[in-house]
Amino acid sequence: MTDHAFLGEFEHLVLATALRLKGEGYGATLVRELEERTGRQVQGGALYATLDRLERKGYLVSRMGDPDPVRGGRPKRFVTVTPEGVRALAAQREALLRIWDGLEATFEEA
Amino acid sequence: MSDAGDPRPPRVLRALLARVLPPGPVRDGLAGDLDELFAGRVRQRGRARADAWYARQLLSAAFHYRLKRPRSRPTPEKRPTTMLDSLSRDLAYALRTLRRRPGFAAVIVLTLALGIGANTAIYTLLDAVVLRPLPVPHPEQLVQVTYTDESRNGAYFTNPLWEQVRDRATGFTALAAFAETEFNTADGGLARLVRGQYVSGDYFTLFEARPALGRLLGRADDFRGCPPVAVLGHGFWRSEYGGRRDVIGTTISLDGEPFEIVGVAAPGFRGPEVGWDAQVYAPLCSQAVISGSQAALDARSRWWIRIMGRRDPSLTIEQLRARIKAIAPAVYAATVPPNWAAEDRAEYRGRTLNVFPAERGLSGLRIRYASALGVLMGAVALLLLIACANVANLLLARAASRRHDVAIRLAIGAGRRRLMHQLLTESALLAALGAVAGLFLAHWGTRGLVALIAAHRSAVSLDLSLDARVLGFTALITVVTTMIFGLAPALSGTRVSPRAALNAGGRGVAEGHGRFTLGKALVAAQVALSLPLLVGAGLLAGSLRNLSGMDPGFRADGVLVVNVDLRRADLEPEARDAVWRQALERIRALPGVLSAATAFRAPIASNSWNEALYVDGFTPETPMDALVWFNTIGDDYFETMGTRLIAGRDFDATDVAGAPPVAIVSRSMAAKFFGGKSPLGRQFRTKAGDAFKEPVTIVGLVEDAKYSSLREENSATVYRPMAQSAPGSAFSTVVLRAAGDPLSLVPAVRQVFAEVQPAASLEVTTLEAQVADSLQRERVLAVLSTLFGGVALALSMLGLYGVMAHTVTRRRNEIGVRIALGADRARVLRMVLRDIVVVVAAGAALGTAGALAAGTLVRSFLFGLEPTEPAIVIGAVLLLLAAALGAGLRPALRAAGADPVEALREE
C-alpha cells in the first residue's frame, strides 16, 4: 500500500470510468457511462467539480477538443487518467478487496 | 417553432448556466455536455421531463460552482470581506437552513410558485394579446386606414375603395389590403377548412416578411385576371406537408380551384391580426378565381377588406392624416354604389378617411379579451398577495421559534443588520425558487389557457415564448414578493433582546399575549383579499349559469347543423334546388332523424342578415330602430328547432314563388311594430335601393328565439319561406333533430350528399356546440375566477389553520390553568372559535369594499346579476366563515382537550 489518500466514493467511480474510456471520455460520455453502470442519475455540476478535484490531485489531465456544432458550438473536455491516477485506483482496489475478503459468502446465505 | 436539428434546452436556462459556470474549460465543456445529453433526454423521455432535468442540472452546477467552496483551496481569511462574499455566504447559509427543513421550504416554494406562476401565465397572455407590438421591423410606423374619426379594428372597405386608396394615397412607404377567409381544401364531402387570407401586392413588403422557401407574393401577382398562386404559412407547411421542400410548384386545392404554391412564409410571421394567422395566403385578385367572377372585386357595397400601411418616417401621423383626408372626396366620388338611395349616396360621398397607429396590429381576440384579461390580472395579483401573506406567516412562526438562536448571535456580537440580511437572503432564495417553479407552472398554464380560449371552430394562434418582457415581469414580481413577505419576519425576527431571550430557555419571551397578533392580522388580510375573488367568482359563475340555463327560444340539444356549399358542383339554379329537395327528403327518411329542415342559417351562427322594415303606423326613432333580423326557412323548421308557434299558421305548400309573399314573425317583432295587437294579416315592406318591394303579409306568430347571441336584447325576427326566396342558392344550412346523439348521424348525412351531389361540401357541427362556442369568454372567466377563488380560499384557510394551531400551542398553559380553575371545555372551545370569528369578521369588513369594487369591475361580463348582488356577497362571507371554522376546529378541539395536569406541571 502506498501513501495515497483514499479516493472519495464518487471520485473513485469517476476515475475508474475515465480509465475505462481510455482517454476518449468526456463529460457527456462519462455521465452516460456512470448512469448506465450505477443506475443513479449523475449531476453534471458534481461530475465537473470532481474532475477539477481529481485534476488538482494530479490523477487525471484534461484537454479541450474542437468546437462541435452538435453541442451548441462548445468543445469537449476529454480526460485521461495519469499514471499516478492509475496507481491510486489500484491501491484503492487492493484495499477494497482486502476489506471484502471472505465476506461474499454472507450474501449468498442471505 | 424551432428549426430542424437537435432540440436545445430552454434559452433562459442555457444563458443562466453560462452565467453560473466559470469561463474556460469548465463552462465550455459542461455546457456542451449538458446540451448533448439534453438532446438525448428529449428523444427518450420527452421535452417536459428533459426541461426539468436540465433545470436540476443547472441547480447542481450553481451549487457546486457558486455556493460550495472547494475544500482543498486555502481559506482566504485575510481577504477583506466584500458584499459579494457576505452575500454568497448568506446564500450558502440560507441553502443549508432550507435543506434542514425540506418540507417547510417545499410548502413555501409551492405557495409562491402558485402565485408567481398564475401571474406569469396571465401576464404572458396579456402581453401576447394586448401589449406586445407586432414582431416586424419598425412596428411604430404601421398604421391602419379607416373611414371614421375614431380608431376601430373592423374598418372594412370595398375592393373599389381599396383600389382608389391604393392609387391615390401618398406618404406611405407601403400600403396593403387583406381579407380573412376560409378555404376548403377538400374535394367534396366533409369540408376541410383552412384559415386563408387574400392579400394585396405589397402585403409582405409592408411587414418586411421573408420567405422560408420559394418566394412571397408581390405586386406582380396582384392584378385583375391574375393566375391562382398561393403562399403557405410556415406552421401549416410543417403540419400539412411535413416541411417538404418540394411543395414549391405543386398545387393546393382551394374551394376546388388548383392554386400553385410559390412559397412558404418564414416561421414567426403571423400577419397583422393578433391571435389569428393565415395558413394560406392568396392574392386579392384571385378572389375572382374562387368566386368565378369579378363581381365581388367590383362590388361597391361589399365591405370585406382592411387596409394597413407603413408611414413614411419623415412624416408625422398628423401629416399623414391630413394627406389621406385630402384624397377622401375623390376616392368616394369614384366609387358611389349605384343602387343606393339618393340620400345614402350623398352621405357616402361625404365620408372621410383616416389613419391610426397600429403598432400592435389588429385583433378581434384583443377586443373580446382585453378587459377579461385585465380582470384576471387583478385576480391573480390578489392571489399573489394572499400567497405572500401565507408565506410571511410561516416565516413569522419560524422566526418565533428561532428567537433563541438569534438571541445568541446577537449576544456574541452579530449586528442586527447582518442578521436581517441573512433572513432577507433566505426570503429572496425562496422567492427565486418559487419563481423558477412558477415559470414551469406558467408554461403549462398559458397553453392550457389558450386551449380554453380557443372555441372549437376558431383556433387561437399566439406567440407565447418566454421572452425578455415576460421574464422581466416575473423577476419584478419576485422582487416585490420578497419585499412583501420577507420584510415583516426579518424585522420582527431580529427584534430580540439577547438577555431576555436567553433567560428561561426563551419561554418568557414567547410573543406577546395581545389579542390581535401580527399573524392574525395577516390572516385577516388574507380573508379581506379572498372576498373580492370569491364574490367575483360567484358573479361570473352565476352569469354563466344564467346564460346557459336560459330558454333561448329553441332547443339546442339533439340538433345537428350541416352547412352545405354547392359552389363546386357546376349546377343551374333549378338543379341546385333539386339537390336541396332530394337531400332533405332522404335525410328525413334516415333512421334516428325526428325532423329536418333547410334554412338560411341556424341560431347563433356567425352569419347574420338584417333589414329595415316599413310598417304603416310605425315611425322608427332612429334608422337603426327599424332593423329586424331575417332568416329564410323551409318546412318543419320550427318543429326541428323546438320554437313554439303561438298563433296563425306555419308555411305550407301554398307559399310558393308567385303566390302572395308571406312571413312569420317573432313575438317581440309583433310587439314592437304592432304594439301588442295581433300581427296576423298585417303587412310590412322592405326596400331595395330607393324602391319599395312588394308588401309581405304576416301569417304566423312564433316565440322569440335568440338570433346572434344569447346576450342580445333584441331578437325581433322575420322568417320568410325558402320557396319564395331567389331560387338556386349555392349555400344552405340543413338542421335536423336526432333521436339520440346528433353526431352519430354524420356518416349517414355524408352518405346522402355523396349520393345526391358528391361535389357538395359539408361543414358539420351541433347546435349545442355552436351555442357553447358563443359563451367561450364567459366560460373562461367563470372557470378561472372559480379556480383562483378556490385557491385563495384554500391558502387563506391554510394560513388560518397555521396561526390558530400556533396560538393554541402557545396558550396551552393558560388554557390548562383555566380548565384547572373550573372553566368547562365548551367555554374554551367557544373562546377559540370566537377568536376565529373575530379574525374573519375583521377581514370580511375590510374585504367588502374590495368585493364591491370587484363587482363593478366585472359588470360588463355579468348576465342577470347585479354587481352588488347581496346574496353573492353574503354567500361569500358565509363560505369564508364556514371554511374558517372548519380550519380552526382541530386547533380548538385540541385546546379544549388540554390536560390541566400536564399544563400545570410545565408551569
| pLDDT given for residue B498 in this prediction | 62
Sign of CA dihedral B212, B215, B219, B222: negative
pLDDT attached to residue B379: 93
Q: Which residues of B715-739 are buried (b: 16+ CB within 10 A; e: fewer)?
A: bbbbbbbbbbeeeebeebbbbbbbe
pLDDT at B82: 66
β partners of residue B251: B260
Pairing relation of β-strands B731-738 and B559-565?
antiparallel
Question: How is residue B87 written as a grid cell?
Answer: 452575500
Instruction: Give pLDDT, residue B310.
Output: 96
User: Per-residue pLDDT for B125 more than 50?
Assistant: yes
Which contiguous run of DSSP H or E holds residue B593? Answer: strand B593-599
pLDDT tens digits along B57-78: 888 888 888 766 544 444 444 4
Residue B499 has pLDDT above 70, yes or no: no
What's the grid cell of residue B514? 395581545
Is the pLDDT reported for residue B374 higher than 70? yes
> pLDDT value at position B2?
41
Report the C-alpha gap between B765 and B675 in whole angstroms: 38
DSSP 8-class letter at A4: P
**Span B713-741, mean pLDDT?**
91
Is the pLDDT reported for residue B510 higher than 50? no
Which pLDDT score, from 0 to 100, does residue B455 have?
A: 66
- Mean per-residue pLDDT over chain B, rounded: 87
> What mean pLDDT comes out for the span B483-489?
81
Of A26, A43, A75, the CB nearest to B57: A43
Quick check: A75 and B28 CB within 8 A? yes
pLDDT at residue B154 greater than cutoff 80: no
Q: Give this complex's ipTM.
A: 0.84
For B746-765, give one letter per residue: b (16+ CB within 10 A) or e: beebbebbeebbebbbbbbb
Number of Cβ atoms within 10 Å of the Cβ of B77 = 6
Cross-chain residue pair B64–A49, CB shorter than 8 Å = yes
Q: Name the 3-class secondary structure at B280.
A: strand
- Can you tell me the distance from the alpha carbon of B900 to that of B905, in angstroms, rounded to the nearest whole number? 8
What is the C-alpha to C-alpha distance for residues B386 and B377, in angstroms, rounded to an integer? 14
Report the C-alpha gap between B596 and B616 in whole angstroms: 36
pLDDT of residue B126: 92
Least confident of A33-42, B61-70, B770-779: B61-70
CA distance B345 to B339: 9
Any alpha helices (H) in B81-135, and if so which ranges?
A: 83-100, 102-126
Give the per-residue pLDDT at B78: 47
Touching check for A87 and chain B: CB below 8 Å?
A: no
Q: Which residues pair with B738 in a beta bridge?
A: B593
The reply to whether residue A72 touches residue B35, judged by beta carbons under 8 angstroms, is yes
Distance, CA of B793 to CA of B804 (rounded, Å) = 16
Coil vs helix vs strand at B565: strand
Closest Cα in chain B to A73 = B32
Alpha-carbon gap, residue B586 to B749, rounded angstroms? 9
Residue among B340, B335, B563 at smallest CA distance from B457: B563
pLDDT exceeds 90 at position B142: yes
Closest CA in chain B for residue A64: B25
Q: In angstroms, what separates the C-alpha of B440 from chain A's closest C-alpha?
A: 20
Report the SS3 class of residue B854.
Answer: helix
Mean pLDDT of B424-433: 88
CB contact under 8 A, B61 and A45: yes
Long-range contacts at B415-421 (CB < 8 A, ≥ 24 apart): B416/B494, B418/B86, B419/B493, B419/B494, B420/B490, B420/B491, B420/B494, B421/B86, B421/B90
User: How close B59 comes to chain A (CA, Å)?
Assistant: 8
Lowest mean per-residue pLDDT among A28-37, B227-236, B400-409: B400-409
A64 touches chain B (CB under 8 A): yes
Distance of CA B444 to the CA centre of its chain: 14
**Confidence band of B906 (pLDDT split at 50, 70, 90):** low
> Is B57–A62 a contact, with Cβ atoms under 8 angstroms apart?
no
Looking at residue B905, what is its pLDDT? Answer: 64
pLDDT at B5 over 80: no
Residue B503's pLDDT is 55
Instruction: Give the model confidence (pLDDT) of B529-580 as tens digits.
Output: 999 999 999 999 999 999 989 999 999 999 999 999 888 788 888 899 999 9
Lowest mean pLDDT among A54-63, B91-100, B368-377, B534-543: B91-100
Distance from CA of A42 to the nearest CA of B (A): 9
CA dist B867 and B880 (Å) reads: 19
Nearest partner of B17 among B57, B70, B68, judged by Cα: B57
Q: How confident is the model at residue B80 (pLDDT cuts 50, 70, 90)?
A: low
Contact A71 B56 (CB under 8 A): no
Q: Map residue B169 onto helix, strand or coil.
A: coil
Mean pLDDT of B37-49: 86
pLDDT at B509: 39
Q: Do A72 and B32 touch (CB under 8 A)?
A: yes
Rounded average pLDDT over B728-738: 92
- Please list every residue in chain A whose beta carbon sits closer than 8 Å to the beta carbon of residue B39: 70
Query: What's the mean pLDDT in B18-25?
Result: 82
Higher pLDDT, B433 or B400: B433
- Is residue A76's pLDDT more than 70? yes
User: Could you identify the residue written with the cell 382592411?
Assistant: B306
Provide the pLDDT for residue B513. 44
Residues of A in contact with B56 (CB under 8 A): 43
Residue B813 has pLDDT above 70, yes or no: yes
So what's the pLDDT on residue A5? 65
How big is chain B, counted in residues? 907
Q: How far is CA B729 from the centre of its chain?
A: 37
Q: Say which range, B53-67, B322-336, B488-502, B807-821, has the weakest mean pLDDT.
A: B488-502
**Number of residues assigned to chain A:** 110
Reply yes or no on whether the pLDDT at B204 is more than 80. yes
**pLDDT, tens digit, 9 for 90 and up, residues B276-316:** 999 999 999 999 998 888 888 999 988 899 999 999 999 99
From chain B, the residues in CB contact with A56 under 8 A are 72
CB contact (8 A) between residue A76 and residue B32: yes
Which pLDDT score is estimated for B83?
A: 67
pLDDT at B319: 95
Shortest Cα distance, chain B CAs vs residue A49, angstroms: 6
Provide the greatest CA pair distance for chain B: 109
Q: Inform me whether the pLDDT recorded for B340 exceeds 70.
A: yes
How many other CB atoms are there within 10 angstroms of residue B342's CB atom? 9
Query: Residue B77 has what pLDDT?
Result: 47
The identity of residue B161, as a single letter, is: L
pLDDT, position B805: 83
pLDDT at B508 over 50: no
Query: Quick one: closest CA in B to A46, which residue?
Result: B64
Task: Report CB contact under 8 Å: A31, B72.
Answer: no
Q: Is the pLDDT of residue B617 over 90?
A: no
Q: Which of the two residues, B450 and B596, has the higher pLDDT score? A: B596
pLDDT (average), residues B33-54: 87
Under 8 Å CB pairs connecting chains A and B tally to 88
Q: What confidence score (pLDDT) does residue B707 get?
A: 94
For residue B906 the three cell numbers come to 410545565
User: Which residues 6+ apart lie within 8 Å of B137 measured at CB?
Assistant: B208
DSSP B379-411: HHHHHHHHHHHHHHHHHHHHHHHTHHHHHHHHH
Q: How far apart are CA B811 and CA B800, in angstroms?
A: 16
Comparing CA positions, the residue from B492, B482, B519 lying closest to residue B108 is B482
Cβ neighbours of residue B871 under 8 Å, at least 6 residues apart?
none
Q: Tell if the CB–CB gap between B32 and A74 is shorter than 8 Å.
A: yes
Å from B74 to nearest chain A CA?
Answer: 13
- pTM > 0.95: no
B33·A43 Cβ contact <8 A: no
> Which amino acid, one-letter code, is at B669?
M
Q: What is the DSSP string of B549-611?
A: HS--SS--TTEEEEEEE-TTS---HHHHHHHHHHHHHHHHHSTTEEEEEEES--TT-S---EE
Is the C-alpha dihedral spanning B51, B70, A34, A83 positive or negative? positive
DSSP type of residue B623: G
